[in-house]
Chains A and B, each alone.
Chain A
Amino acid sequence: MRVENLSVDLDSFHLRDINLRVEKGEYVCIIGPTGAGKTVLIETIAGFHKPSKGRIILEGEDITCKPPEKRGISIVYQDYMLFPHMTVYENIAYGARKKIRDKKSLEEEIMRIAGIMGIKHLLDRRPETLSGGEQQRVAIARAIISKPKLLLMDEPFSALDTRTTEKLRDFVKRVASEYGLTIIHVTHDIVDVWSLADKVAIMNNGRIVQYGEVEEVFSRPADNFVADFIDVNILDGEIVGSSRDVVLIRAGDILLKAKANTVIGQHVRVFIRPEDIYVTTEQKRIGSECFRAVVEKIVENGPYIHLYLSRNEIVLKAILTRGYAKCLGLSPGRQVYVHIRPENIRVART
């Protein structure tokens, strides 16, 4: 799929010169602040907004002027949009009926996809009787049963809790490889990017400000906006303990408690935003475990202080308000205690 110099003019919002190239079978995440135009972009690709300029090319064919029903592009929304007057079976069948005409192979296809998505036992139910996670699995099944050339997902997990989201990521991964899907997935969650995507596009103000391989974008942000937006500490670790929905992660010689749902021995990648790190100069209990680290470097940035903390090989960035940093009387070489609340630690399996 190729988007070339695409511009869209809505009343007070404009998408400007969007270029995006997604190879067949690739998984692309789009992230960006709210109002950046992510939904408008994928709805334009689906054919719901008319571009004022540019082209959309899908599998070698110019589809810019085609109506949505002729594009072979499916869309999955955050709020599922299952048709309330149909059962789960009928909803999925609705997605297939234009492609699969005869009744027997339709039923086989529905059983196959229902098996993959784990919704076989729900087929006779009405959508309003399902949980959010179940509804979203049905919506995904409905979207892909016709083997679309492109699957668009607009924050598909945003209404779901962490545990359900983790499960759904596994379903999506499975079905994506099983069906050889090409996917564009809009998300706010950095874990989606790291655990699902090959490439990531970062949007701001109606533009794509950076697009590339996930590792590449995260290690080399193109400008200050991207750097700020993806500003996050990334650690590699291993699950060494777990109880109910809290796990113990060892990263280097740091032990972290996080809310996640993984088994012992699993290798994980851990994400911590710098503003979620709390620093004290004395050992205190403030609701979370703490560990010792040494102040490596202090960078002033307007009203904030960027603090680089090191512990053996690991360096963590923390952001403090200038006033608080003054109170602590920090200087390079000083030993401090680092606090991170479990709910602020995001975990992706690797």
Chain B
Amino acid sequence: MASLKFSTLCIIIALIVSLILFSAFIALLVMISPSDFIRSLETKEMQYSLKLTITTSLISTFLAVIIGIPVAYALARKDFPGKNLVKTILDLPMAMPEIVLGITLLLLFGHTPLAQFLSMIGVKIVFSPLGIIVAQLFSALPYTLRILSSSYETINPRYELVSRSLGYGELETFVKITLPLSKAGLIASTAVAFARSVGAFGAVLILAGGVYMVTETLPITLYLNISYGNLSMAISAGILLIIVSFITIFIIEKMGGGKLWR
């Protein structure tokens, strides 16, 4: 009897929490009229922000996945000295407040020999759109690594051994066997990287500055307009961000993402 009551209780809590969240989404949607939403979308600011967000996110997603593919492979398959330390460092941005990630990146790219070198060759990261990409990349990378390495780990290494024995080198085996077998993980990690990039706020704000119509991405638009009291712009930005999240979740579910979060 007790166990029945307990499980009923669990279900009730789950329903209540999801109801609260759902009401919050609905609130966001009913707070503005469709015509206000359309008008917000048509403003120069929103168009700029949307375009900048999508461009930077596509680039940072691409980078996160391209970097993630070999790094996750090393973490999942190979042993090397200091591996656990490397793992911890790469995971750190996931646990760190985004705003702290932002300040560390700001210091690295603003006040170190690396910064001097970059400015010497004319690369400006701080307070520039390039900074957005860097901030998004580091917010997304830990998630990409997690998903990719656990998807590599589910592949029996003997597939790779068999391929090697049939005459295919390490790289060829990786491209022809390991990558296709981790397809679901690749798609899921791309989706998550994109969502993280689009939604990156704290790090982007600190590193890229959050300047109106210069380094203004959707989360920044939301933030700036809230502070000006321009609620309908803020809400519209929020709705766009939610749409991205829904599409991401949909793709992950479709790719059997549940299994990837072991």
Contacts and interface: CB of A to CB of B under 8 A. Distances in A.
Interface of A: 43, 46-48, 67-75, 77, 79, 81, 83-85, 94-95, 98-99, 142-143, 146
Contacts of B181: 83-85
B159 A67 contact: no
Contacts of A83: 159, 163, 177, 181
B97 interface: no
B158 A67 contact: no
Contacts of A79: 156, 158
Given A81-B156, A84-B181, A142 B166 contact: yes
B167 A81 contact: no
Interface residues on chain B, size class: 10 to 19
17 contacts: A47-B164, A47-B165, A48-B164, A67-B170, A68-B161, A69-B169, A70-B167, A71-B165, A72-B167, A74-B166, A77-B162, A79-B156, A85-B181, A94-B176, A95-B166, A143-B165, A146-B166
B168 interface: yes
B169 A75 contact: no
Contacts of A81: 156, 158-159, 162
Interface secondary structure of B, over-half rule: helix
Contacts of B180: 85
Contacts of B168: 69, 98
A-B complex: 4 closest residue pairs judged by Cβ atoms: A98-B167, A68-B164, A85-B180, A81-B162
A249 B22 CA distance: 74
A99 B167 contact: yes
Interface in B153-195: 156, 158-159, 161-170, 176-177, 180-181, 183
Interface in B177-225: 177, 180-181, 183
A79 B158 CA distance: 10
A63 to B, nearest CB: 12
A184 to B, nearest CB: 13
Given A71-B165, A85-B183, 5 more contacts: A69-B167, A69-B168, A73-B165, A74-B166, A75-B161
Contacts of A85: 180-181, 183
B163 to A, nearest CB: 8
A274 B168 CA distance: 48
A84 B159 CA distance: 10
A253 to B, nearest CB: 50
A68 B159 contact: no
Residue picked from A46, A69, A75, most chain B C-beta under 10 Å: A69
Contacts of A77: 158, 162
B161 A43 contact: yes
A94 B168 CA distance: 9
A79 B161 CA distance: 13
B159 A94 contact: no
A47 B243 CA distance: 51
A74 B165 contact: yes
A95 B169 CA distance: 13
Contacts of B156: 79, 81
Contacts of A75: 161-162, 165
A46 B159 contact: no
Residue picked from B163, B164, B169, B181, most chain A C-beta under 10 Å: B164
Contacts of B163: 83, 94
A69 B158 contact: no
B160 to A, nearest CB: 10
A46 B169 contact: no
Contact of A46 (B165, B167, B176, B177): B165
B159 A69 contact: no
Nearest to A70: B167
Residue picked from A43, A81, A99, A146, most chain B C-beta under 10 Å: A81
A342 to B, nearest CB: 36
B155 to A, nearest CB: 10
Contacts of A95: 166
A48 B161 contact: yes
A96 to B, nearest CB: 9
A125 to B, nearest CB: 18
A70 B172 CA distance: 13
Contacts of B165: 46-47, 68-69, 71, 73-75, 143
B161 A46 contact: yes
A84 B155 CA distance: 11
Nearest to A139: B162
A114 to B, nearest CB: 17
Contacts of A72: 167
B177 A69 contact: no
B242 to A, nearest CB: 35
Contacts of B170: 67
Contacts of A143: 165-166
Residue picked from A68, A73, A75, A84, most chain B C-beta under 10 Å: A68
A312 B167 CA distance: 57
A110 to B, nearest CB: 14
B173 to A, nearest CB: 8
A60 B158 CA distance: 28
Nearest to B156: A81
B169 A67 contact: yes
Contact of A98 (B162, B166, B177): B166
B123 to A, nearest CB: 40
Contacts of A67: 164, 169-170
Nearest to B180: A85
A89 B165 CA distance: 18
A195 B81 CA distance: 48
Contacts of A47: 164-165
